Structure 1
Amino acid sequence: MKNVISKLAATTALVVGLSSSAWAQVEVEWWDFLAGGDGVRMKALIDEFNAEHPDIEISGTTLEWGLPFYTKVRTAVAVGQGPDIMTYHLSRLPLALEEDVLSPISEEDLETAGISKGDFFEASIRAASTDDGQLMAIPFDIHSIVAHYNRTALEGTKWLDGDGNLTNLNSIEAMTEMLTWAKENGFSDPLSYQTSGGGGTWRMFYTLLSQQGGEILTDGEVMAGDNFDKAVTAIQTLADWRSQGLIPEQASYEAGVALFSGKKAVLHFNGVWEVPTFKDQTEAGTLGFEWFANEVPQMMDQPATWADSHAFAIPNDPEMSDEMRNAVLTVIGWMQEHSLAWAGAGHIPAYKPTVQSAEYAALEPNATYASLADNAAFDPRSKIAGVASPIYDAVDNLIAPAVHGFLSAEDAAAQMKAQLQGLLN
């Protein structure tokens, strides 16, 4: 009897062992910096992926956005303790290349993921590649600032067309006229955005610079040639609006949002990521007016809007197995095919089949401002640019004070030019 039990136990152990092997999961370690609504949506996508893939399990970790995230990545990859996949801002790509923290993405990798470069908007693929065209990350979205606006207040004015979209704002003078009208009609801060920090000010400044065809960096030179004058024009435009009381004094990010939702601003230039905020307030009946969002109007020579992309990147790990890399690529391909859920966060998916779908066409206001994907002005390709970079510091320390009258536009541009050039030399 004892022998029978022993044989039964051995057989059971063998079956369990074979079963465990047959159903062994590849555990993919995932790092991201996604909080708030972005974080909720990404977690839902991860949960859905895990439910559909018994052979792959994503184990996700969310780290602090900005410099802490990228410092952690750099340190972890250097000692071979990085994740298997991570989210990455494409504006940080030049610095990532210098730090050698990313693994190149080959054509074979794309085939494994079931995607191709042609599936993505050209601007995002360009931002995800080296100067010679080597793909280093796979874009997931294009996120930009948009013009959130109070439709109710603009109803019946010349600045709203028959479809309820912004119109007749095709110059700085026209925008100033509309903001002045709003000021005279009870809006204390007609155009709100984050005026106290480098993030909001940089996005506004870079949009105005890019609409002039201006560049921060040209062949390694900061504000070369007439780019200096274009930078001065962009700074002076914001300073003029501030001196006329058309934008708020020293508004924090949260204050900029509150000025719009509290009907103190008729326009709010902020990221697409705030679309869910105003949608939620509309559905809850707490906003108090009809809201919509368009691409930032072309007020200067050409259409252009500051933009960045969240992308998926594979850390540079020579020890990564083929099995793990294939699992990671499976994750990336699946996420692209399910990126309509990500669009719910306001972002424009970088994956064109999603944007070209009937489901996306019905998603508003996203479908209306999707045109900005063709006019996306990504940060300069430089180690001094991108999220939490020296350029953001220079904007915070020089351009923001100039906008608020503590420094002339010319002095701010000159000091920024000297400061950034010194970092490149």
Structure 2
Amino acid sequence: MRQTPLPARAPGRRRLLGGMAALAALAATGAGTAGCAAPAAVGAGRTRVRFWHLFGGGDGVSMRTMLDAYRAAHPEVALEASTLQWGAPYYTKLGMAGAGGRAPEVAALHLARLPGFGPGSLLDPFDTGLLAEHGVTEEDFPADLWRRGRIGGRQYAVPLDTHPMVLYYNTDLCAKAGLLGPDGRLKPVRGTEEFTAALRAAGKATGGPGLVVETLGAGTIGPWRLFATFYSQTGGTLLDEGATRITLDDTRALRVLRFMRRLTDEGLAHRRVDYNGTVGVFGGGETAFLLNGEWEVGTFTNLGLPFSMSRVPNLFGRPTAQADSHCLVLPHQRDRGGETNEAAHAFVAWLLRNSAEWARGGHVPAYLPVLEEPAYLDLHPQSEYRSVIDDVALDPPAWFAGSASTMWIELGAVLSGVLTGSRTPQGALAEMRDRLQALLDTPDPLGGDA
């Protein structure tokens, strides 16, 4: 789930479209990369379903387990799964395949990337009636996650999960600091003063900063995710609903930016640490708290670290947390339909109904019935923060937003300076506005229609 660095500026429209056209031509002639061949039946009565995804690490292990279980339960389907490189390389290849109309039957996509990914041209819509035949309906999902997959009245994405920022805490250190309740869970924390008091108590237990969060590095995005979490808690927005105009609220944004600066200025959080450093610091028992995505749960479990996880505390008035959602999509095929298309819908429905296994990697299943299953509720600490499913703060529906996006890299670089001390909150706010406006002024390279 870790980001791959992207270029600092969005590629020009002409350059990207030219590249897409060339790649599409390769795919159309069969000279493209492996996996772009036309759909076909395989073997004696078996139907081929190809699935492209970008899951590595802990969630990759969970996905392989799920795919093996699917194959065992569906011998009539020849499932071919390909794990591609995370980030920009994945989206470039997926776009190429859709542009050529010879894509895999099913693929994974970050939901916040959907508006810029060419629904109707690079993606085909789901047949919701066909999904319903396999036990999956709109009512089975959080309303906002389902709505974000719908464009122009058609469903182009079905959410598999949400992966929010969460608070990891070392249970031994927090017990030493008097921060755990009788049930062994972190005592409730509300507001910035209670949070900073908890960090000070944790710092006394560790002899150093109580918190670690990503503050710098090539392609850093941790500072953006931290700001997006806290800013969403103020009720502020970044862009209007049509993603055409900046709606950043200076008062709310400055309140958050000054708090972020306070964390490092007062020694409550480590000032200079990259992503891998945060994992090492928390995993080594050097600090009591880590703010990060929930996908590192397997890392710390394998280390034998005494830890648990909770939702990010409500510091600014709302219990929200920055998040994205892995979703399942149907990349564009010229001849989509028939048994292969039905098998693709059935495969998507099966993954959703069996996503308790997916939750082992930390993600919160979006298919609501799974959240009530004993197999999920027995997962600890994964089930501890499940209620965040109703309070996730997704990026605005802009082509340049979402996981592995230009916006994350652009704003992450600006906000990094607030945490490290190289930018003032006021200066960072002005630069955020400038970079957002530059992105708004750049045409969508894929021609997506939000």
User: TM-score if structure 2 supplies the norm length?
Assistant: 0.84
Q: Is the 8 A contact 2:215 2:273 kept in 1?
A: yes
- CA distance 1:98–1:104, change in 2 (3 Å): closer
Secondary structure of 2:117 counterpart:
helix
Query: 194, 213, 236: which is aligned to 2:214?
Result: 194
Q: How far apart in 1 are the matches of 2:244 and 2:270? A: 33
Mark the structure with the bigger radius of gyration: 1
Secondary structure of 2:225 counterpart:
helix
Secondary structure of 2:323 counterpart:
strand
Instruction: Indicate the residue corresponding to 1:333 in structure 2.
Output: 349
Secondary structure of 2:150 counterpart:
coil
Q: Is the 8 A contact 1:189 1:259 kept in 2?
A: no
Q: Is the 8 A contact 2:209 2:287 kept in 1?
A: yes
Instruction: Indicate the residue corresponding to 2:4 in structure 1.
Output: none
- CA distance 1:371–1:409, change in 2 (3 Å): same
Instruction: Indicate the residue corresponding to 2:433 in structure 1.
Output: 417
Q: Does 2:253 match 1:228?
A: no
Secondary structure of 1:142 counterpart:
strand
Where do 5+ consecutive residues of structure 1 fail to align? 1-19
Deviations 1:146-188 (A, max 9, x none): 1110111222655322222222420111111121222233342
Secondary structure of 2:115 counterpart:
helix
Where do 5+ consecutive residues of structure 2 fail to align? 1-40, 442-450
Query: 231, 248, 267: which is aligned to 1:209?
Result: 231
Q: Is the 8 A contact 1:26 1:55 kept in 2?
A: yes
Q: How far apart in 2 are the matches of 1:388 and 1:157? A: 37
Q: Does 2:61 match 1:40?
A: yes
Letter in 2 for 1:208: F
Q: How does 1:11-410 map to 2 (within 5 A)?
A: 23-97=44-118, 100-130=121-151, 133-155=153-175, 159-197=179-217, 198-219=220-241, 220=243, 223-224=246-247, 227-282=249-304, 287=305, 290-410=306-426
- CA distance 1:79–1:245, change in 2 (3 Å): same
Letter in 1 for 2:164: S
Q: How far apart in 1 are the matches of 2:328 and 2:349? A: 10
User: TM-score if structure 1 supplies the norm length?
Assistant: 0.88
Q: Is the 8 A contact 1:120 1:352 kept in 2?
A: yes
Secondary structure of 1:155 counterpart:
helix
Q: Is the 8 A contact 1:232 1:410 kept in 2?
A: yes
Q: How far apart in 1 are the matches of 2:42 and 2:407? A: 51
Q: Which has the higher helix share?
A: 1
Letter in 2 for 1:254: N
Q: How far apart in 2 are the matches of 1:187 and 1:392? A: 33
Deviations 1:28-84 (A, max 9, x none): 121111111211221121122112212211111111111111111112211223211
- CA distance 1:378–1:133, change in 2 (3 Å): farther
Letter in 2 for 1:387: S
Q: How far apart in 2 are the matches of 1:120 and 1:104? A: 18
Instruction: Indicate the residue corresponding to 1:4 in structure 2.
Output: none
Letter in 1 for 2:294: V
Q: Is the 8 A contact 1:112 1:329 kept in 2?
A: no
